[in-house]
Structure 1
């Protein structure tokens, strides 16, 4: 990108989360001033940023500030957006299995929360907003690789709320010329991801020395992107001069089955544990997305973005991060 994020003030919602914390660190490294919006809690925790030395130093140096709040609160969101140059909106409820249990909470956070950010950006005339979508909005695709023009299909309550959030962004772009870009990562993985996702689930059990690997369906295929590459995509989207409402995918253009991921994780850890299928880990038949495979050409064209970390190298780095954090007593527990 010809421009630089250095010196710009960037609000990151969901800063306390997996991807959000990596985005914050990348922004700090690039010289941005960061306003880290984290979910309010009585302990004052900033989630994964509690463990981030670069973030702590940036707060001490005045390069970063912490805002505790709730994306569902419109007044507080509006106050937090004031006087920023860019909003990177990552706050969301993300676990698909829990969306079967508590769908209303996904609507309130993912749809109403996004509406609150859009209204705040509109009120303050913020120059750029990036909304975080997901490849789950496509459902099982009609054809692969998937392009940004592919129809959307809500095969889970989670994906339905993300489709709704994307469409709210589209409507604000068309109705009010709100300068929002919809960034659509495929399956991001890496350090700090919770075990509700397949890669940390597999690696954690293997690293704990389990002889039985408790998993769900091994046949679905996914396009896995290492988190540092996803963070790079967010920084590039923050600077991209694209039309309001533009949708851009972030994916590698490579798809692998869960079964093959298990094989790769066995090699990384040196543990050849046998898979045991647990029915509670399997999605309802009509809700499972069978394959996701991106076409990364638009990201390359508009953002100059391309993944730089291979799946194999990313798995090795994730395993090294997980190794000292594995609890053998809890690794087999199903995390919705």
Structure 2
């Protein structure tokens, strides 16, 4: 770890699932003197040691605001990401890709020495599902039919070019698996199942089976554990990419045990057809193309994060997913616009 005290850190996307955990982790560290959280909508929430400002990265006039906020900053943690609308990928491209490019360019103009970027397992090309999995050298071409993967992969190429043009900036790319915590459950329910699906329906007794689909093997991590890795990336003199996930890998059997459900073999085409019909009818926001990508994601080897960041998750993948299910059923949330909860009766 760095011994430098008094670091000033800016976090974009600071009010979301990962952002709220990262600003908390940073604000609690004695080596960090100031944390500025940037978000599209300024929250009412007050966190000790954290200041808030509103910046919409999709706007063409956002570079001016970014330049003001990044002056004399030691590190930028770029987390801002928009998952919807999945029916209009131009909107997410403007926010996620063009917005990220604006952040990278502002980092270079301001001379910020460290940039930590939130990439994803979704940036990886399809790969093997066996443990220990692929390391950070695995190709990052994504699954091109899914907007999320396409955007994450494109930004990997942007950062390749950025690092060549700005070798003085220490660039770190975090590539986590699926991130869950109780307080973000309501937001994630809205993102993937839709705002009109009550969380109370996600009770084990109402989920009688888990489909046994080829390729259904998920790597899950508690968001607070991911935040500790982000903090380590800010404070440690490292570069490059880091895979982040907890053990064990969750397949149909592990998911069924967690939900006290049965495993039932279901043809992938049946699930995809049903999801596609629901998505076209705007009944669910999760795209069938993202479903295709999930079944092709490689299993990650996280040895590099363990070795160079000194990082180990404190919770298992089952504990992280259990926290999400508990939060969904209870309508958990936080006092920020993305994470506001709703208590279902």
Are residues 222 and 143 of structure 1, via their aligned partners in 2, closer, same or farther at CA, if it must alter by over 3 Å?
closer
| Cα deviation digits, residues 178-237 of structure 1 (max 9, x gap) | 321111111111121411358xx9993455687357998855211111111100010001
TM-superposed deviation, 1:308: 1.4
Indicate the larger mover: 108-117 or 207-216. Answer: 207-216
Given that residues 130 and 181 in structure 1 are in contact (C-alpha distance below 8 angstroms), is that contact kept between their aligned partners in structure 2? Answer: yes
Secondary structure of the residue aligned to 1:222 is: coil
Given that residues 110 and 165 in structure 1 are in contact (C-alpha distance below 8 angstroms), is that contact kept between their aligned partners in structure 2? Answer: no
Residue number in structure 1 paired with 2:320: 314
Indicate the larger mover: 306-315 or 189-198. Answer: 189-198
Are residues 3 and 251 of structure 1, via their aligned partners in 2, closer, same or farther at CA, if it must alter by over 3 Å?
farther
**Residues of 2 paired with 1:143 and 1:15: CA distance?**
32
Residue number in structure 1 paired with 2:173: 182
Residue number in structure 2 paired with 1:301: 307
TM-superposed deviation, 1:88: 0.3
Secondary structure of the residue aligned to 1:221 is: coil
Are residues 119 and 216 of structure 1, via their aligned partners in 2, closer, same or farther at CA, if it must alter by over 3 Å?
farther
TM-superposed deviation, 1:154: 3.0
Residue number in structure 2 paired with 1:94: 83
Residue number in structure 1 paired with 2:241: 247
Indicate whether 1:136 and 2:122 are aligned: yes
Secondary structure of the residue aligned to 1:256 is: coil
TM-superposed deviation, 1:294: 1.0
Residue number in structure 2 paired with 1:27: 26
Are residues 75 and 82 of structure 1, via their aligned partners in 2, closer, same or farther at CA, if it must alter by over 3 Å?
same
Indicate whether 1:81 and 2:76 are aligned: no
| Cα deviation digits, residues 275-314 of structure 1 (max 9, x gap) | 9964336724854533431101111122111111112333
Secondary structure of the residue aligned to 1:118 is: helix
Stretches of structure 2 lacking an aligned partner (at least 5 in a row): 279-285, 332-341
Indicate whether 1:211 and 2:217 are aligned: no
Given that residues 13 and 37 in structure 1 are in contact (C-alpha distance below 8 angstroms), is that contact kept between their aligned partners in structure 2? Answer: yes
Are residues 291 and 258 of structure 1, via their aligned partners in 2, closer, same or farther at CA, if it must alter by over 3 Å?
farther
Are residues 169 and 287 of structure 1, via their aligned partners in 2, closer, same or farther at CA, if it must alter by over 3 Å?
same
**Residues of 1 paired with 2:40 and 2:29: CA distance?**
24
Are residues 260 and 175 of structure 1, via their aligned partners in 2, closer, same or farther at CA, if it must alter by over 3 Å?
same
**Residues of 1 paired with 2:314 and 2:197: CA distance?**
23
TM-superposed deviation, 1:238: 0.6
Higher relative contact order (CA 8 A, sep 6+): 2
| Cα deviation digits, residues 228-276 of structure 1 (max 9, x gap) | 1100010001112124xx1111123532125632430x25xxx99x999
TM-superposed deviation, 1:153: 2.7
TM-superposed deviation, 1:151: 1.2
**Residues of 2 paired with 1:171 and 1:3: CA distance?**
30
Are residues 203 and 254 of structure 1, via their aligned partners in 2, closer, same or farther at CA, if it must alter by over 3 Å?
farther
**Residues of 2 paired with 1:202 and 1:302: CA distance?**
42
RMSD between superposed Cα atoms in Å: 3.4
Residue number in structure 1 paired with 2:7: 8
Given that residues 124 and 297 in structure 2 are in contact (C-alpha distance below 8 angstroms), is that contact kept between their aligned partners in structure 1? Answer: no
Given that residues 134 and 185 in structure 1 are in contact (C-alpha distance below 8 angstroms), is that contact kept between their aligned partners in structure 2? Answer: yes
TM-superposed deviation, 1:12: 0.5
Are residues 117 and 57 of structure 1, via their aligned partners in 2, closer, same or farther at CA, if it must alter by over 3 Å?
closer
Residue number in structure 2 paired with 1:38: 39
Indicate whether 1:119 and 2:105 are aligned: yes
TM-superposed deviation, 1:131: 0.5
Give aligned pairs, total: 303
Secondary structure of the residue aligned to 2:315 is: coil
What TM-score, normalized to structure 2? Answer: 0.76
